[in-house]
Structure 1
Amino acid sequence: MTQPKAGDPVWVDLYTADPDRSIAFYGELFGWTAERASEEFGGYITFRKDGKAVAGGMGKMEGGVEGPDQWTVYLSAADARATAEAATAHGGTVVVPPMDVGDLGAMAVLGDPGGAGVGIWQAGSFGGIETAAIVNDGKWRDHDGAPSWFELRTRDYETSLDFYRDVFGWNDTFAMPEAPGFRYTTIHSTSPMLGGVMDASGFLPEGAPAGWTVYFGADDVDKAVAKVVELGGTILSPAEDTPYGRVAAVADITGAGFHLGGDVA
């Protein structure tokens, strides 16, 4: 990725009940390889595509953070501890307190005022995603198996936008033209926009939490969806064409949800 701005999505990682099955699933789906760190780093998994880091993973540990299997999106911050303090001052919560990760950087996980979890990554020797898809003029580039879009779906649209502006320094957002039932703001006003915030108050099922989701690129979204099912995953929302490409929502073999995105069929 190019040099990130404050608040840019820079990393994603998987919290999974079964690291071995997850490694096999994503290896078959995207051609990812996996490296496990030493016990010093809790056996953290780094997924790579063509040798470049694209995502991380961590198995659930006894006494660790409770929660469903899920992907977490991390936003860039110059100072993880100061950002966590700012989050609590602006109505957020700290789920995982800031901690150093060797010389790689520092991380934390927050809860925003709308109830969505989001990570902080303060880069040290490791900056984050080393390859990522870019959506430009409606076309996806360098995208198969790469993180391509990062999206917050929330019932607290205005409050959440204020939170991310105040805490992460989003000062270049772009509010897309509103339509009935549609409100969306992108993180940047110019390409590459990287992601955005959707007002999901009209379609999130009752009881379903707000949350960030990651889109992974696919050369052929329909084939990728079929592969997900073949590998034991599930379809959450069938593939469909949108003005921004063909997308689908799926869950992996242990139930962690994510999206697939590619060019219109």
Structure 2
Amino acid sequence: MAAEAEGTPCWADATFSDLDGAKRFYGEVLGWTYGDSLPEFGNYTQAYVDGKAVAALMPPVPGQDVPTAWCLYLASPDAAATAAKVRENGGTVLVEPMRVGEFGTMVLASDPGGAAFGVWQAGTHEGFEARGVPGAFSWAEIFTREPEKADAFFPAVFGYGVKRMDDDAVDFRLYDLGADPVMGRMKMTEDFPPEVPPYLNVYFTVADCDAAVEKAKALGAQLRFGPMTMPFGRFAALTDPQGAAFSLIDGTTTEGEKPQLTDVS
């Protein structure tokens, strides 16, 4: 598998104080199995669907207060150069370029509105080995209270084109690389409590959204929105039992026509 084009979502991981609990939860909801934890890399534990790597879970580093949240990584051919572009365009580098053995080089950063994300320069670990199948990553959206800043920052750093969804009910943009949409950007409304920070929302594919939601709720997750059917699939937004936000989507169940998009790059 070739390394992903710059700016493509290529990996996701999350930190949990109860690693075993997180493994049980996502194993039940998404059908994940797990590789061995890597003690030399802080017990980083990869998750698999049908033998293909789809995400990773890890415990917090001792002494560090790390929020429980999913982190989406965007591909880069040069993590140090991307970190420089983050700074040049008003973002913040939270973790400087750091070599992770032979696997690759990572950066953690946030956009000017405070939405955190990762950057990944692939070594032997090139990212998702499966997408869009049950249990695997499907899509991601930036939720921000400062959409104008996001719309300037991410295209400047990653070269995205930007399209506006022609719908007066929501402030939504689509970021793309040529013809390939890679990520959405949604303005956070007053429906979001003020204590909820901006974030990159990760969608995982499921075969049956309603059944997956019921299973997640039975295991202690909180349903925040949905399930709802739209032209792109039936989806729901949840918070897992340890407080990490994520979404589930069944892309085979759709309703309505896809909205018109206007190029505003």
Fold match (TM-score > 0.5): yes
Q: What is the correspondence of 1:254-265 to structure 2 with a 5 Å cutoff?
A: 254-262=242-250, 263-264=252-253
Which residue number corresponds to residue 87 of structure 1? 86
The gaps in structure 1 that reach 5 residues or longer are 134-142
State yes or no: 1:153 paired with 2:143. yes
Q: Distance in 1 between matches of 2:151 and 2:226?
A: 29
Does structure 1 conserve the Cα–Cα contact (< 8 Å) formed by 2:60 and 2:66?
A: no
Q: Identify if the C-alpha distance between structure 1 residues 108 and 36 changes in structure 2 by more than 3 Å, giving closer, same or farther.
A: farther
SS at match of 2:113: coil
- The TM-score, its normalising length taken from structure 2, stands at 0.89
- Correspondence for 1:166 among 137, 156, 166: 156
Which residue number corresponds to residue 240 of structure 1? 228
Residues 188-226 of structure 1: CA deviation (Å, up to 9, x unaligned): 276652321112245433232111010111111000000
Q: Distance in 2 between matches of 1:166 and 1:194?
A: 15
* Deviation of the 1:169 alpha carbon: 2.2
SS at match of 1:164: helix
Q: Distance in 2 between matches of 1:251 and 1:258?
A: 6
Does structure 1 conserve the Cα–Cα contact (< 8 Å) formed by 2:159 and 2:177?
A: no
Q: Distance in 2 between matches of 1:181 and 1:2?
A: 39
Q: Distance in 2 between matches of 1:20 and 1:192?
A: 37
Residues 73-108 of structure 1: CA deviation (Å, up to 9, x unaligned): 110111111211221221111112210011111001
Q: What is the correspondence of 1:1-265 to structure 2 with a 5 Å cutoff?
A: 4-64=4-64, 66-133=65-132, 143-170=133-160, 172-177=161-166, 179-188=167-176, 192-201=180-189, 203-262=191-250, 263-264=252-253
Does structure 2 conserve the Cα–Cα contact (< 8 Å) formed by 1:94 and 1:110?
A: yes
Does structure 2 conserve the Cα–Cα contact (< 8 Å) formed by 1:12 and 1:56?
A: yes
Residues 27-72 of structure 1: CA deviation (Å, up to 9, x unaligned): 11111111234322111010010000000111112222x2321101
* Deviation of the 1:187 alpha carbon: 2.1
Which residue number corresponds to residue 259 of structure 2? none
Which residue number corresponds to residue 258 of structure 2? none
Q: Out of 30-39 and 201-210, give the one that drifted further.
A: 201-210
SS at match of 2:253: coil
* Deviation of the 1:255 alpha carbon: 1.7
Which residue number corresponds to residue 139 of structure 1? none
Q: Distance in 2 between matches of 1:226 and 1:203?
A: 23
Q: Distance in 1 between matches of 2:182 and 2:2?
A: 11
Which residue number corresponds to residue 260 of structure 2? none
Q: Identify if the C-alpha distance between structure 1 residues 67 and 40 changes in structure 2 by more than 3 Å, giving closer, same or farther.
A: closer
Q: Identify if the C-alpha distance between structure 1 residues 2 and 195 changes in structure 2 by more than 3 Å, giving closer, same or farther.
A: farther
SS at match of 1:173: strand
Percent identity (aligned): 38
- One-letter amino acid of the structure 2 residue matched with residue 51 of structure 1: G
**Structure 1 residue runs of 4 or more that deviate by more than 4 Å after TM superposition:** 189-192
Q: Distance in 2 between matches of 1:198 and 1:2?
A: 30
Does structure 2 conserve the Cα–Cα contact (< 8 Å) formed by 1:156 and 1:201?
A: no
Residues 3-47 of structure 1: CA deviation (Å, up to 9, x unaligned): 522111100001111111111111111111112343221110100
The gaps in structure 2 that reach 5 residues or longer are 255-265
